[in-house]
Amino acid sequence: MAIEIQLSDPADCYNDFLKFLLSYNLEVIEVGVEIVYDDSVRGRNLPHLSKVQRDLEVYRRVLPCPVWLIRLKEDA
């Protein structure tokens, strides 16, 4: 398993997807885990769960590696 935490730039998630793909193809990992913000977290240009989910749906054809998403929520 490979775990990546993205809390600043959503574009960095793409780099993580490539790392997951390479590691999966080399049989180093069986699953990738991406930790991002919940949609309720305010802020511009943050990696939010819904955006990353949409991206994964688009890349599913070329990204055979399972990717689990974990969302971080703000304290109320």
pLDDT at 15: 94
Is the confidence at residue 74, as pLDDT, over 70? yes
What does the pLDDT look like over 6-22, one tens digit per residue? 999 889 999 999 999 99
Can you list the domains of the chain with their CATH numbers?
Answer: 2-72 (3.40.91.20)
pLDDT at 66: 95
What does the pLDDT look like over 10-67, one tens digit per residue? 899 999 999 999 999 999 999 999 999 999 999 888 999 999 999 999 999 999 999 9
DSSP for 50-62, please give it. Answer: HHHHHHHHHHTTT
- Determine the 3-state secondary structure of 74 from DSSP: coil
pTM to 2 decimals? 0.87
